Amino acid sequence: MSIAESIAPHLPYLRRYARSLTGSQHSGDNYVAAVLEALIADSSSFDRTLSPRAALYRAFTKVWNSVPVNQERDEQAASEKSLPERRLESITPLPRQAFLLVSVEGFTTAEAAQILDCTPAHITELLQMAGSEIAEQLSADVLIIEDEPLIAMDLEALVVDIGHRVQGVARTHKEAVAEVAKKAPSLVLADIHLADGSSGLEAVNEILETISVPVIFITSFPERLLTGTKPEPVFLITKPFEPAVVKAMISQSLFFGLRSTKSGQRAA
């Protein structure tokens, strides 16, 4: 099997990782494009002793770590930087990479060690560092848009468990918009398909007409939103989800302080 064939199924998830790492769809996609160019120029950078997915992420890591600014804290005055840039400084690069690889991308500690070219023990240390640094964030008000009661309860428990507050739970497009009209949330967790047949995407798009807020989408079919041809969510959770993934995504979205734009998409 060619390299192109072996990595094709994993590219949407590498793009998700790149965006979470950089805090930008544009920047993340540029890094992924650079990785593909590097593999075309020199196929030896693809480690065939690893699984195709791990080899792809390892190749990405080499490109990412080859840019000095990604490994250093910028000493530029804080007043001259955006909120995402200031928050990026608050978590050191390697702990952030380890955190995303294990908590969001689902790699084992051993696989993350292969990707970052270090020992499993070092990965454990990096994860502890990341957890400590992320925990320093301020608590937030979270709006949950979810029509399944059990899933909504699970999400509520996860939000509270990591020190945030649940502002409300909406089951429909109309309820979601009404909740935001009462009070603007700090973060939105939005399912794609809602109880009355309405769309969580449409609800979010209407909400974003009036406020700027980070959004995490939840769907059973992430590949329908990670097509590479339309504006895409930066933060995306796949159902059925792992609690650690939800916690990681919440921390990451608040960490970057992203302000979502209208997705312009509708899941099939």
Contact present, 31 and 22 (Cβ < 8 Å): yes
- Cis preceding-peptide flag for 240 (omega within 30 of 0): yes
Site of tokens 């995303």? 100
pLDDT, one tens digit per residue, over 100-134 is: 898 778 899 999 999 999 999 999 889 878 766 76
pLDDT, one tens digit per residue, over 147-173 is: 999 999 999 999 998 888 999 999 999
Question: CA angle 53-55-57, nearest 5°?
Answer: 70
Q: Distance between CA 123 and CA 111 in Å, rounded?
A: 10
Q: Distance between CA 49 and CA 24 in Å, rounded?
A: 31
- DSSP codes, 76-119: S-GGGS-HHHHHHHHS-HHHHHHHIIIIIS---HHHHHHHHTS-
Q: Where are the domains of the chain?
A: 3-134, 141-256
* CATH architecture entry for 141-256: 3-Layer(aba) Sandwich (3.40)
Taking alpha carbons only, the member of 174, 160, 123 closest to residue 246 is 160
User: 12-26, 78-92, 170-184, 192-206 — which is least confidently predicted?
Assistant: 78-92
pLDDT at 143: 97
CATH of domain 3-134: 1.20.140.160
pLDDT, one tens digit per residue, over 135-146 is: 665 678 999 999
Q: What is the separation of C-alpha 77 from the centre of its chain, rounded to a whole number of angstroms? A: 27
Radius of gyration of the chain (CA): 19
Site of tokens 């997705």? 263
Q: Which pTM value belongs to this model?
A: 0.59
